[in-house]
Amino acid sequence: MPVNILMPALSPTMEKGKLAKWLKKEGDKVKSGDVLAEIETDKATMEVEAVDEGTLGKILVAEGTDDVLVNAPIAIILGEGEKLGDLPKAATAPVAKPAAAPAAAAAPTASATSAPLPKADGSRIFASPLAKRIAKQKGIDLAAVKGSGPHGRVVLKDVENAKPGAVPAAKTAGMPQGMSDEAVLKLFEPGSYDLVPHDGMRKTIARRLTESKQTVPHFYVTVDCVLEHLLPLRERLNLQAPRDKDGKPAWKVSVNDFIIKAMAMALMKVPDANVSWTENAMVKHHHADVGVAVSIPGGLITPVVRKAETKGLTQISMEMKDYAARARTRRLKPEEYTGGSTSVSNLGMMNIKNFAAIVNPPQATILAVGTGERRAVVRGNDIVIEHQMSVTLSTDHRCVDGALGAELLSAFRMYLEDPGLMLV
């Protein structure tokens, strides 16, 4: 019997993706394991493999189509002897490639079909044609209406029970409360700007960080770390790296590698801070899986160094070099950038002295790292020059309160200022 190829969920948080490229065409024979298409998520580009053999009978989603919902049919594979004409027309109707539109798109007319409407956050509103028409007549924003139909679809009775003028509780991330896209654009002179539609990564970053700041009670603690012992040790380690025939070293340990290791060791020393929050229980992690923010075009991604407390500095260094290279080409696997029990965000290389990062749920902590610099400090009755770096720990106060956060940050500073302790 015909087999539907569905839009896969390539990560636990994926809701939709872009069908970037078809690698097979209609009429091609396929077998289990053949790569059919490439899918772009907000974080990576992945391949879709066939799980059955047969003939690629129909492509339902065209190349370049954005915002294809997870589990939506994207193609049909026909078995031996089956023909496309034997299937119901509805089953073989292709999904039209959505046309690019500016942020200030026109409102749907009364003749609109049941195709989903866009919400401000880039997700979709599913509503019946009659519900859309009545909502427009009553001045009701469908984004504010909870659907009672199949899969949350808004039907007529939902609109009839809604109050005229209802507006959605959540507005576009970053926009002043109550201002629509159209209202924002009216503030600027026509022709004085370009509209650059948000891609999947930017939408996901906006949604997740807005949710974090709205739902996670943040608490911040900051310390200055002295690097007088770390920098000479780093130099000695790098001098010991074996070199190939071209003189290229096998590794080059960075200050950030020390930071990853120190954060992992600190979480092992203060296990009550190595946690995640759920409504019914505290998740206490057995290992320190440290996510490291990597800037890529259009946003950032956070590959995770698993069991970082068990790894040496050179291993962490080589792992991060590989992660960073594949992150920039969006070739990381979902299991390489999901999960994690904490994160590190380092803007020191950009000469940022200090900053506070936003917790990335379900993690409970994130360390923001500033630049290392020579500072004049008072030691006893003397003023001395020391190489120092400011770091700020952001915590989810539901599970890591101020005292516990301070204990964790003190342990981190101990390992960073006396890095030999990380080598025993």
CA 114 to chain centre: 30
* Residue intervals in the chain for CATH 2.40.50.100: 3-92
Answer whether residue 178 shows pLDDT above 60. no
Lookup result for tokens 């071209």 = 246
* Residue intervals in the chain for CATH 3.30.559.10: 216-423
Contact by Cβ (8 Å): 291, 260:
no
Sequence-separated (6 or more) residues with CB below 8 Å from residue 187? none
Q: What is the pTM of this model?
A: 0.68
Burial category of 376 from C-beta neighbours within 10 Å (exposed 0-12, middle 13-18, buried 19 and up)? exposed
Question: Distance between CA 149 and CA 144 in Å, rounded?
Answer: 15
DSSP 172: P
Q: Which of 3-12, 212-221, 370-379 has the lowest mean pLDDT?
A: 3-12
Question: Distance between CA 86 and CA 287 in Å, rounded?
Answer: 55
Give the up-direction half-sphere exposure of residue 380: CA atoms within 13 A in the CB hemisphere: 1
Which residues are known to be catalytic? 397
Answer whether residue 421 shows pLDDT above 70. yes
Q: List the one residue out of 318, 256, 230 whose CA is nearest residue 264.
A: 256
Tens of pLDDT, residues 22-42: 999 998 999 888 889 988 877
Lookup result for tokens 């078995």 = 79
Contact by Cβ (8 Å): 75, 84:
no
For residue 296, CA distances in Å to 42, 44, 360 come to 12, 11, 18
| Residue predicted with more confidence, 259 or 156 | 259
Answer whether residue 50 shows pLDDT above 80. yes
Answer whether residue 177 shows pLDDT above 60. no
Structure tokens at 249: 């070293």
Q: Whole-number mean pLDDT of the chain?
A: 84
pLDDT at 111: 34
- Please enumerate, as own/partner, the contacts of 151-158 that have beta carbons within 8 Å and a separation of 24 or more: 151/126, 152/126, 153/126, 153/127, 153/128, 154/125, 154/126, 154/127, 154/128, 155/127, 155/128, 155/131, 156/128, 156/130, 156/131, 158/131
Q: Which of 1-15, 17-31, 62-76, 100-114 has the lowest mean pLDDT?
A: 100-114
- pLDDT-derived band at 113, boundaries 50, 70, 90: very low
| Residue predicted with more confidence, 14 or 287 | 287
Query: Residue range 9-28: average pLDDT?
Result: 84
| Residue predicted with more confidence, 331 or 178 | 331
Q: Residue 379 pairs with which residues in a beta bridge? A: 382
Answer whether residue 43 shows pLDDT above 70. yes
Query: Residue range 223-227: average pLDDT?
Result: 97
Q: How many CB atoms lie within 10 A of CB 116?
A: 15
Three-state DSSP at 334 gives: helix
pLDDT at 377: 95
- CATH number 3.30.70.1070 given to 117-170: no
pLDDT at 15: 77
Answer whether residue 309 shows pLDDT above 70. yes
Answer whether residue 13 shows pLDDT above 80. no
For residue 106, CA distances in Å to 23, 171, 172, 182 come to 35, 18, 17, 10
- pLDDT-derived band at 104, boundaries 50, 70, 90: very low
Q: Which of 136-145, 246-255, 330-339, 356-365 has the lowest mean pLDDT?
A: 136-145
Tens of pLDDT, residues 234-245: 999 999 999 999
Query: Residue range 326-346: average pLDDT?
Result: 92
Q: Which fold has domain 3-92?
A: OB fold (Dihydrolipoamide Acetyltransferase, E2P) (2.40.50)
- pLDDT-derived band at 397, boundaries 50, 70, 90: very high
Question: Distance between CA 262 and CA 398 in Å, rounded?
Answer: 24
pLDDT at 114: 40
Tens of pLDDT, residues 121-163: 445 677 877 778 777 767 787 877 888 776 677 877 887 787 6
CA 50 to chain centre: 27
* Residue intervals in the chain for CATH 4.10.320.10: 117-170
- Pairing state between β 365-379 and 342-346: parallel
The rounded percent of the chain whose pLDDT value lies above 70 is 85
pLDDT at 80: 79
Question: Distance between CA 145 and CA 142 in Å, rounded?
Answer: 5
pLDDT at 172: 44
pLDDT at 341: 96
pLDDT at 12: 65
Q: Which fold has domain 216-423?
A: Chloramphenicol Acetyltransferase (3.30.559)
First to last CA, the chain: 61
Instruction: Give the helix ranges, DSSP H, for 196-333.
Output: 200-215, 230-239, 255-269, 313-328
